[in-house]
Each structure stands twice: as C-alpha cells, then as structure tokens.
Amino acid sequence: MGEAAGTAAPSANAATLAAAPAAVNAGTHAGTNAGTNARNAGAAGALLSLDGISKTFGATQALHGLGVDIAPGEFVTVVGPSGCGKSTLFNIVAGLEEPDPGGSMRFLGKPCRAADLLGKVSFMPQRDLLLPWRTVIDNAILAVELEGVRRADARRQALEMLPEFGLAGFENQYPHQLSGGMRQRVALMRTFMFKRDLMLLDEPFGALDALTRSMMQRWLLDVWQKHRRTILFITHDVDEAVFLGDRVLVMAARPGRVKIEQKVDLPRPRRADIVTAPEFIALKRTLLDAIEEESMKSFRASGAPGGQA
C-alpha cells in the first residue's frame, strides 16, 4: 500500500493532524499534577473522561461500556489481546470515529463528541507513515505545515528539535536511508511538533529490535518529562507498559473495555535496570495473569480448538 493520502490510514492521519486550528496548546497543563492522583482524578480534574463507550461495526462489537479518566500530564499505557478494540479506542479519541450512542465523553471537563476532538490530539498510528519522497525535515514538519504554518518557519522549528530526537545532521536524508529507530523518531518528532495536550501512540516501537526499543523507551520518557504532554500508549509488551506508564490499562477481550487499571508506583526517572526490581516483577506478574486470561478468551472466540495453538 502506498503512503500517499488516499489510503485509509494516511488520509485519516492527515485529517487528524490538519484539522482544528483552535486546538489547545501544549504547556497549558505544565505544573499540574503530572502523573499523580490519576485514578481519583474523576471527570472534574481529568483531561479526558470516557464513560460507557461502545462501538459496533456491523455484526462486530469492538468496544462495550469502556470507561476511563486520563489526568493531565499522565502517561497511560494500554495492553490487551489483538482485536480487543485498542485502535478503535484511539480512532474515537482522535475524532475519526463516533462511538455508538449512549456513552459520554468529556475533554477538559466539557462534554464532547468524538468529532470535537479531531485536531485536539496528536495521533501516531501504528505504521510510521513517513512519505518516502520527503526528507527527514519535511516529514517532521508535515503536520504543522498542513495546519498552515509557513514551511520556512516550520523548518526552523524542526531544525532546533533535531538533536533532541537524535536526528542532527540527518535533515536532508530520505526515510529509506534511515534505520528503523530513526524512522520512528522522525514520526515521533512529527507528533511532538503538532503541539497538543494529548498524544496517542499506537504501538510506536512494535517493529523495533529489543535493544533499539529499550533505548527508545528511555528516550521517550526523557522527552515526555521535558515536554509535559499527556500520553496514551498502546503496546503488546507488558515490560514496556510497566516501564513507561504511570498506569497500565488492561483491556478485556472483544468487546473491549477496561478490565484492570493498574497504578505503577515506580519512581521516576526510571533506569533501565528497574525491570529487575521485585516491585517491577510483581506488577508484571499481576498484569500478565490478566492479559493471559483475556488472550485465551479471544483465542477461543476465534474458533481455535480447545484454545490450543
């Protein structure tokens, strides 16, 4: 499939990135309770509140009665079996799909429809969506350019950000000349340049080798702490979910909903060796049990005999 606008995901992405000129700016929540008190934030203090969200596609119920509150500045990771509606949830929060009638959504305390969120969040879909004919710098500025920032101004901003994203000196390279980790950093830089309170990252490191992935995780935490964004992050990897998150949401097998919200009380900044700490391993055990239970459900539902591989 080509990367040009016109295929479903890229055009959806462009729509998300380009719309809503009056969107909320990053920094609005600087100094608020980053990452703390999330579970009790409730609709009052939450950046985003979802309640009773369901979504049906024809005969498939993707989500059923999903509820969650996301606090300003929080880093929330989302895990769950394949097909449980994680990307559907992101499409709703990005404003690309309306949920079924009956649920409610609030952004910054105000009731809203999904469509009202279009352009108020920055969204990095699962595929990196770099345009092969654009250089690093021109890929990075794509979203802000689409919302009307002059190319020269956008380039100037991007040049300043390149070192932080480990891309200094690579501004004129094309995507095929980059490693997988670098391509992901270009896509992330594009998402960060589109300054919104809420960032949605759909398995951004899924395709990377273990070493690159662990470097990228630490790097993302540094960048997150500096830029004070709120992040919702989908991953298949429980280690990654615990290492990054203030809170891990485990989704139930389809129809998806939040099955468990697990607070991660590990100190920050987090060092790479935290993964061997007993607290880390205990959290991981709890989450793995929950995920395994849900994965077995979806495996059986898929018709696999006796749930055997």
Ligand X SMILES: Nc1ncnc2c1ncn2[C@@H]1O[C@H](COP(=O)(O)OP(=O)(O)O)[C@@H](O)[C@H]1O
Q: Under the rule (CB under 5 A), what is the footprint of Mg ion?
A: 86-87
* Nearest to ligand X of 181, 256 (CB atom): 256
Sheet holding 60-70, edge to edge: 60-70, 48-57, 104-107, 110-112
Smaller CB separation from ligand X, 23 or 200: 200
Shortest reach from residue 137's CB to ligand X, in Å: 31
Nearer to ligand X, 84 or 291 (CB): 84
**Nearest to Mg ion of 86, 120 (CB atom):** 86
139 or 235: whose CB is closer to ligand X? 235
Kindly state the smallest distance separating residue 202's Cβ from Mg ion, in Å. 6
Q: Which does 184 bind (CB under 5 to 8 A by kind): ligand X, Mg ion, none?
A: none
Q: Which residues bind ligand X (CB under 6 A)?
A: 57, 60, 62, 80, 82-88, 254
Rounded to a whole number of angstroms, the minimum distance from the CB of residue 88 to Mg ion is: 8
82 binds, among ligand X, Mg ion, none (CB under 5 to 8 A by kind): ligand X
Find the length of the chain: 309
Partner whose footprint covers residue 133, from Mg ion, ligand X, none (CB < 5 to 8 Å by kind):
none
Distance CA 263, CA 275 (A): 16
88 binds, among ligand X, Mg ion, none (CB under 5 to 8 A by kind): ligand X
Q: How far is the CB of 27 from ligand X (least distance, A)?
A: 30
The residue with its CB nearest to Mg ion is: 87
CB of 106 to ligand X, least distance (A): 22
Beta carbon nearer to Mg ion, 73 or 81: 81
Least CB distance to ligand X at residue 203 (A): 9
28 in the Ramachandran plot: left (φ > 0), alpha (ψ -120 to 50) or beta?
alpha
Look at residue 72 and give the partner it binds from ligand X, Mg ion, none, a contact being a CB closer than 5 to 8 Å depending on partner kind. Answer: none
Residue 85 contact among Mg ion, ligand X, none, beta carbon within 5 to 8 Å by kind: ligand X
